[in-house]
Amino acid sequence: MALNDDLSTLREIGRRHVDDLSSALPAGGESPRGSALVKLVGEALNAMTLALDALPGEFASAQDDKDREAVVEKARGYTYQLRQLHMALPWVESASHHHVSQGTVLLFDAMAEAMLGVAADVIPTPNETYMYAVRAKPFRSAFVSVKKPYPSLSPPVIVYYPAGEVDSVFLHLIAAHELGHGAVLERDLIQGVKTAHGDLTPVYAKLSDAANALHNATALDLTLATAEVTRVFRNWLEELLCDALALSYLGPSFLLASATFGVQFSGSTPGSSHPSNAFRTHLLLEQLDAMGWTSEFQEELPQVHSWLADIASKPMDPSAGAHYEHIQDALDLLAATIRHVTDLRDLAFTPNAFTDRAELAELISARILPAQLLNGKPTRRRSVIYAGWLHAFGEAGDHAANLARITADRSLQAFLTKALEMSVILQKWESV
């Protein structure tokens, strides 16, 4: 009897979640942004309702108490998924009343499309933590739990930005890295690296060195040490893939954003989730070079470049776990392959795409919105952003410490985002 009571209580609670969420969601058609999310949650609720309705039948046909217990556990699992779905409520709110400027939203849209390969329902949301983060295709596990495929609609993508940085478009470039995490998953880039690399023997040898080092330095047996090394390697590889995707898409602008952000989080000390800022900077500089940017970047910002090169050449913190050095060596061997699988090709921002530099510089200096070029064409968003960085350094001086002053200049960044917005409008106008 008790099990039956548990089941009916959980089902009632489940239904209550469904009713509450259904009535809290907008009927649709209000704002196009967020409408895919609303649809997704609606489908999840329908699937959950069907699953909850099927439980009494499953309970009745259960053979013994153990089976009945399993049905109750299933009901509890559904209530877990339904509680997760409540996360959508503040997102839906953000979709219709977001605080970031239209230019920023359009930039996020373009970044998400480049990274994920499809137009997404991007919802910028303030984060109470000082951190950028992305949730691409949320609520997958709700559909998995009821054995339904994830609905095929333009995928909802929640982009969290630090609440105090609403207008900081230079920092918002970090979102490209976060969107990269969605791309790594969607496009299975970890496997992509393995397939594209060819002979992995030297890489595995480094990982085996790492496992031995960890085993010797700790009480972990070799199997557990190997598992830990594999976990760290995978984490780091994913982070480096995201960095590389972001740099491919944004060019030197991402390096500057990442320098401003990354320097606050780590120096030459790695952690199990992220490689050190020194190693990340090393790979970003290598990639910048491979993309053909180095001479132009060095010419524009020699001091900043040498500061970055200095960071990149720092040896690993000797107090870091002995295994980390070998894992880093393994990833260094994969650097060219990481660049290869993350190269966005036609969508990459290369020096050839920055031919409008002089004209943009003039417009920005004169505070004329850089939305349209003299030839009547709309400006390129990523050119505007990089020209904006260069203009800001031109005013503040070529020094790393000015990264703070530049990213604090909200009025310049608001001006640039307005230009992004107008250039998109012009582009749409042209294509009508």
Smallest distance from Zn ion to CB 283, Å = 14
d(CA 173, CA 176): 6
Phi then psi for 159, rounded to 5 degrees? -110, 110
Smallest distance from Zn ion to CB 344, Å = 18
d(CA 298, CA 330): 29
d(CA 17, CA 132): 29
Identify the bridge partners of residue 372 per DSSP, sorted by sequence position.
Answer: 378
Q: Which amino acid, one-letter code, is at 281?
A: T
The span from the first CA to the last CA of the chain, in angstroms, equals 67
Nearer to Zn ion, 242 or 284 (CB): 242
Smallest distance from Zn ion to CB 279, Å = 14
Check if the beta carbon of residue 3 is closer than 8 Å to that of residue 72.
yes
Smallest distance from Zn ion to CB 222, Å = 29
Nearer to Zn ion, 183 or 242 (CB): 242
Site map (CB under 5 A) of Zn ion, residues 183-222, x = contact: ----------------------------------------
- Count the site residues for Zn ion by CB under 5 A: 2
Nearer to Zn ion, 156 or 275 (CB): 275
d(CA 333, CA 336): 8
Nearer to Zn ion, 155 or 275 (CB): 275
d(CA 221, CA 206): 18
Smallest distance from Zn ion to CB 114, Å = 17
Q: What DSSP letter does each residue of 121-167 carry, written as one string? A: EEEEEEESSS--EEEESTTHHHHHHTT-PPP-SSPEEEEEEEGGGTT
Instruction: For the segment 230-249, give every residue that binds Zn ion (CB under 5 A).
Output: 239, 242
Smallest distance from Zn ion to CB 153, Å = 26
Nearer to Zn ion, 239 or 286 (CB): 239
Smallest distance from Zn ion to CB 78, Å = 31
3-class DSSP state of 108: helix
Nearer to Zn ion, 284 or 369 (CB): 284
CA atoms within 13 A on the CB side of 373: 17
Nearer to Zn ion, 78 or 236 (CB): 236
Binding footprint of Zn ion on the chain (CB under 5 A): 239, 242
